[in-house]
Chain A
Amino acid sequence: MNKKQKNLLLRIIIAAIFFVPLYLISEDIVHVSVPKWVVLILFLIPYLLVGYDILRKAFLGIKNGQVFDENFLMTVATVGAIALGEYGEGVAVMLLYQVGELFQSYAVGKSRRNISDLMDIRPDYANLETEDGTERVDPDEVEIGSVIVVKPGEKIPLDGVVIEGTSALNTSALTGESKPREVAVDDEVLSGSINTTGVLRIRTTTEFDESTASKILDLVENAASRKSKSENFISKFARYYTPVVCYAALALAVLPPLFCMITGVGMEHYASVGRLWGDWVLRACTFLVISCPCAVVISIPLSFFAGLGGAGREGILVKGSNYLETLSQVKTVAFDKTGTITKGNFAVTAVHHSPLDEKELLEYTALAEAHSSHPISASLRTAHGRRLDESRVTDVQELSGHGVIAKVDGRLVAVGNEKLMEKLGADYHPCSHTGTIIHIAMDGEYCGHIVISDELKEGSGEAMQELRKAGVRKTVMLTGDAESVAKKVAGEVGISEYRAGLLPADKVTAVEELLRECSGNDRLAFVGDGINDAPVLSRADIGIAMGALGSDAAIEAADVVLMDDDPRKISKAIRISRKCLAIVKQNIVLALAVKFICLILAALGIANMWIAIIADVGVMIVAVLNAIRCLFVKKL
């Protein structure tokens, strides 16, 4: 509790101590005979003690032309009740209202701190290496290329490259991934991760403002200022609602008694004209107490904030509450293939029809391709795995559009496509697998082929199933790759549609087509890796960037950033947004329904002030507690 809250708590306690005996006396539960005016003055002590700031604010509000706010509502209602001789009710309403305010302030402060702690990746200091030892400085002051030391248990303050030491990093604040990441010399490290085991010396590669931690923090802090439709609806609602209720209360206080007096209908229920007016003015005051809009106004932004915080903890950064709202309506998801569904690195997946040992064949092929810079040559070399002795290779001949012919250990090795085999007259077997096929012939004899393809990401298939379970109706894959590759990948992971052979610009057109197919409130999400699909990310209703840690373009263009590469997080993000939106709806409906019912009961004279204030404070407490549920998304 902060100072303000402690102060308020103290006032509430003292006022309550005064109030309880006074109430017992005034209700004749304890029989003490005191004149009425003494009771009034005694009641005013707790009233002013607990409510003076509300009275002051209401007064200042009127002076500044801001008449209709909750302070005004409370002031009018309580002053009205006291003026009508209902001292106990008047003071009780003020007391309970302040209890509600205190609870609200405490709960909001607490969840604000909880959520900020979750995203607390801001490093406080850096151990800068200088000529005379290390010095503890503000990360802001560290220049690019400086050397910093990070001890176990410390946060890495700036992005950089390890120049000495090995350690395991806890990156859970960045990625939601709890598995530690092993780092050694020459590995890149990101700010915001926590060094757990060994001392690291790091050469920094960014300034603090440009570091991963700063960018993520900036993103998180900005997120709450992008307001959702529900939040805007509520603030607009509050703007009209309070004045409307005030006028309704005024009408309630004046019209029915006037009607009674003029027509004489119902006058028999009242002892005097004074009683008649008193009754209706009291009803109007009760009306005002109920009308306080705080429950809705506080719980909606709190729900969204908690939702954003909960998602952040899972490594899903949502850039604003408005995107959380859109995410919950996603019915179509379009994917980029490479880097999203597949890993984006090519690997040898099969070796067929080879009379030689697989390893031997790979070795010859890798040697023949040793001088090529083509990505496929690189993947062949990776598959071979060991160092290549390039002196074994002579007479390298690159045939553009065909492949390579080279002498390896004196044997003539031809590595290339079907055209090359035909040219050499080698009797090749066409392959039934999809992917890039590399045929090999040695000394004119066919020696089989190697299949190279992009590997599926772990969890891609599961991700599609989960998306379907989460209510996504259509999944579409957009790829620049050939039809056969697209068909195979789509089949393997279970994507319902695919569009192959697309240039980057075609992807935008494809997404626009899909957008036209979406009906009503259905939204389309595009998932990409942020490399050259920025236009598509921004064209879709919601752009989700994958594995964006450190990629500026993606963080800029996307609305949701998945910090680790995991495609399963897409459905998780959708489920989090659904939960959050469901809670928002529950709160709106609950608060408005309870208020509406109580307003009617008050107008009919059934609900008294006690019921009114309990409905008001109670609904607010329930709504705030419900909102905090948005934070718990681990098991979704």
Chain B
Amino acid sequence: MKKSYKIDVDCANCANQMEDAAKKTAGVKDCSVSFMTLKMKVEFSEGADAAAVMQEVYKNCKKVEPDCEIYL
């Protein structure tokens, strides 16, 4: 399952860090963050609960970039 989320972040490097952080989250199969379109595309693993996983993704992203926002 793939979903796309709107995000807000200030710098390109921070977007890369968010992508890394999201990729490392359990339940996320793949993730791509586009700084230019301010979109995060997340592919969830089989059977993962998207809402719960996104909460974790959000937490992990906040850790690497306190100024980021994901509109869930």
Contacts and interface: CB of A to CB of B under 8 A. Distances in A.
Interface in A281-298: 293-294, 297-298
Contacts of B37: 112, 116, 221, 224-225, 305
Interface in B1-22: 4, 10-13, 16-17, 19
Given A69-B13, A297-B12, A298-B11, A60 B66 contact: yes
Interface in A218-269: 221-222, 224-227, 235, 238
Nearest to A8: B10
Nearest to B64: A66
A115 B17 CA distance: 24
Contacts of B13: 69-70, 235, 238, 293-294, 297-298
A interface residue count range (under 10 / 10 to 19 / 20 to 34 / 35 or more): 35 or more
A57 interface: yes
Interface residues of B, number: 21
A385 to B, nearest CB: 50
A33 interface: no
Interface string B20-61: 000000000000111111110100000000000000000000
Interface of B: 4, 10-13, 16-17, 19, 32-39, 41, 63-64, 66-67
A60 B19 CA distance: 19
A102 to B, nearest CB: 10
Contact of B36 (A4, A60, A61, A302): A302
A56 B39 contact: no
A57 B36 CA distance: 22
B34 A225 contact: yes
A288 to B, nearest CB: 16
A225 B39 contact: yes
Contact of A227 (B32, B38, B66): B32
Contacts of B10: 4, 101, 105
A104 interface: yes
A66 B63 contact: yes
Given A66-B17, A115-B36, A221-B37, 16 more contacts: A57-B66, A61-B66, A64-B64, A69-B13, A70-B13, A101-B11, A112-B37, A112-B38, A116-B37, A221-B4, A227-B32, A235-B19, A238-B13, A297-B16, A298-B13, A305-B36
Contacts of B66: 56-57, 60-61
A70 B32 CA distance: 22
A271 B39 CA distance: 56
A297 B11 contact: yes
